[in-house]
Structure 1
Amino acid sequence: MKTAIKVAIQGIKASFHEEAAFKFFGKDIQTVECNSFKQTCDRLENQEADFVVMAIENSIAGSLLPNYTLIREYNFAVVGEVYLPIQLHLMALPGVKFKDVKYATSHPIAIRQCVDFLDDFPQIQVIEGNDTAACAKRIKDEQLTDTVAIANSLAAELYGLNIIERRIESNKKNYTRFLILKSDKNDEMKDINKASICFQVGNHVGALSKVLNIFAEQEVNLTKIQSMPVLGKRSEYYFYVDMEWNNMEAYDKAIRQALKFTVNFNIMGEYKKNDKV
């Protein structure tokens, strides 16, 4: 009998991270619940998980900057990506009416994504939690009749809650991109056409432009560029870049040329583009 692969997620069962894991791997997996993104990395490093599914950006809330640092510091390989449409619902114990609600609870990013809805009900006090699904579970465990959670339909199903208001997110085209991490690079991957890289450049005029032009000349499309300060070093930055290509040879050539003009160059992962929402 085949052992189910273990996938570490930030949060608990029925969280968006588990939903993303299901979308990428299918439902026949063993979810390893973790309290923080750092803990997911520790689980992978200690071989208590085979993969980590980690949110890296949201179309409304932006990039999760600390996660870039985690991936770089643990030196994990990015072996895939998955985009998940974020649909947020208001849920409560069966029988609870909206007029009885005094508190709404969810993860801070989920709350930010529902700010237009929440602004219409100033009488409801918003309480931040560390995970959308955990907020739903708490309502069930503590039988809270005056509290609603903002979470996905998976959480409502798992914890026996009624959805009293559907799709309360401000932007209906809201999505989160998750990266799939492994402790080592996957050499047998096929159809590679996307990469995530990280590097530094010298602090002088045109240093970054020179590197970016190399990729442009080889028709490698840069889909994202993110800068982060180097801890304790003034005016020094790490640049995190996602790129796509149609011609593997052109990509290889661009990488070889870029190495001459960068320091601390790191290919964090090469994988198959998977941007269907």
Structure 2
Amino acid sequence: MKKGTRVAIQGIKASFHEEAAFKFFGRDIQTIECNSFKQTCESLEKGNADFVIMAIENSIAGSLLPNYTLIREYNFAVVGEVYLAIQLNLMALPGVKFEDIKFATSHPIALRQCVDFFYDYPNIQVIEGSDTAACAKKIRDEQLTDTVAIANSLAAELYGLNIIERRIESNKKNYTRFLILKSDKTEELTEINKASICFQVGNHVGALSKVLNIFAEQQVNLTKIQSMPVLGRRNEYYFYVDMEWKDMEKYDKAIRQALKYTVNFNIMGEYQKNDKV
């Protein structure tokens, strides 16, 4: 990866998106902060970023459905994936003790993932914020001595906060999968063993089953299938499918056969499997 690669992230520095970007690309990158997932896509489309890193599913909260639509509509190439363990810590300004805390703030999903912890402390008022890292930054900027943020250790490090309690998330096996997006598919990867595809099938008995069986017959393993309604079309759906294989020739054969039974077939990306959390 060339020095200073620009990666658009949703959120600010030290957010989970930046942590995931560091895990995939290494620390020697320039992160482009964006307020929304749509803004990350616009940043890539306008050439202000080289890549987008985009959360696509969480093991507790499920799939981020609008993001599938963004990838399809902008026609970006999926060139990689990274899984990140979501570890949530309670952090405050140096010197603040646990008994000083009156408020806890974080992203709504992060707060939901820590309900067991806060059940034991009903005196702490929970306040929703826009972003985990932004909540940590606000404590630093406004010197809030009665407030804690729930965020990753990267945020504590960047904004000079002390971690009071580590790993307060209820489920210790919580992870998020992120996709790496590029504006084109020019980069050739040496080892390709995973793909993300999108297609539609006719609205008749066995239409989807026929396509899925083609992949099964060629020993292509479907790791995820997600349906999304086609906007304004009743009983019409896009199917987003992730698949893995050991034999590239069998994958190619399955794709050729599947094309005969689908419409709007799109290989969103072929890349290297990277599912270590």
TM-score bucket (shorter structure)? over 0.9
Q: What is the CA-CA distance between 1:236 and the residue it aligns to?
A: 1.2
Q: What is the CA-CA distance between 1:109 and the residue it aligns to?
A: 1.6
Aligned position for 1:179: 179
How much identity, in percent, do the aligned residues show? 86
Q: Is the 8 A contact 1:203 1:235 kept in 2?
A: yes
1:47-196 matches, cutoff 5 A: 47-196=47-196
Q: What is the CA-CA distance between 1:3 and the residue it aligns to?
A: 4.8
Aligned position for 1:21: 21
Q: What is the CA-CA distance between 1:110 and the residue it aligns to?
A: 1.2
- For residues 85 and 67 of structure 2, the distance between their equivalents in structure 1, rounded to whole angstroms, comes to 20
SS in 2 for 1:257: helix
Q: What is the CA-CA distance between 1:244 and the residue it aligns to?
A: 0.1
Q: Is the 8 A contact 1:61 1:113 kept in 2?
A: no
Is 1:275 paired with 2:269?
A: no
SS in 2 for 1:14: coil
- For residues 74 and 108 of structure 1, the distance between their equivalents in structure 2, rounded to whole angstroms, comes to 28
Q: Is the 8 A contact 1:229 1:235 kept in 2?
A: yes
TM-score of the pair, normalised by structure 2:
0.97
Q: Is the 8 A contact 1:61 1:112 kept in 2?
A: no
Q: Is the 8 A contact 2:3 2:28 kept in 1?
A: no
SS in 1 for 2:208: helix
Q: Is the 8 A contact 1:79 1:186 kept in 2?
A: no
- For residues 106 and 91 of structure 1, the distance between their equivalents in structure 2, rounded to whole angstroms, comes to 11
- For residues 22 and 175 of structure 2, the distance between their equivalents in structure 1, rounded to whole angstroms, comes to 16
Mean CA deviation greater in 113-122 or 85-94: 113-122
Please tell me the root mean square deviation across aligned C-alpha atoms, in Å. Answer: 1.1
Q: Is the 8 A contact 2:200 2:263 kept in 1?
A: yes
Amino acid across the alignment from 2:250: A
Amino acid across the alignment from 2:142: E
Once the two structures are superposed, what CA deviation does each residue of 1:117-167 show, in whole Å capped at 9, x if it has no partner? 122222222222121111100011011112111100010011011111110
Aligned position for 2:42: 42
- For residues 19 and 259 of structure 1, the distance between their equivalents in structure 2, rounded to whole angstroms, comes to 38
Amino acid across the alignment from 1:39: Q
Q: What is the CA-CA distance between 1:50 and the residue it aligns to?
A: 0.2
Deviation >6 Å, runs of 4+? none
Once the two structures are superposed, what CA deviation does each residue of 1:248-273 show, in whole Å capped at 9, x if it has no partner? 11001111111111111110000000
Q: Is the 8 A contact 1:197 1:242 kept in 2?
A: yes
Aligned position for 1:205: 205
- For residues 140 and 54 of structure 2, the distance between their equivalents in structure 1, rounded to whole angstroms, comes to 27
- For residues 179 and 36 of structure 2, the distance between their equivalents in structure 1, rounded to whole angstroms, comes to 16
Structure 1 residues not aligned, in runs of 5+:
none
Q: Is the 8 A contact 1:193 1:273 kept in 2?
A: yes
- For residues 126 and 233 of structure 2, the distance between their equivalents in structure 1, rounded to whole angstroms, comes to 38
Amino acid across the alignment from 1:4: G
Amino acid across the alignment from 1:165: E
- For residues 3 and 19 of structure 2, the distance between their equivalents in structure 1, rounded to whole angstroms, comes to 20
Q: Is the 8 A contact 2:224 2:242 kept in 1?
A: yes
SS in 1 for 2:260: helix
TM-score of the pair, normalised by structure 1:
0.97
Q: What is the CA-CA distance between 1:54 and the residue it aligns to?
A: 0.5
Structure 2 residues not aligned, in runs of 5+:
none
Q: What is the CA-CA distance between 1:233 and the residue it aligns to?
A: 1.3
Mean CA deviation greater in 108-117 or 250-259: 108-117
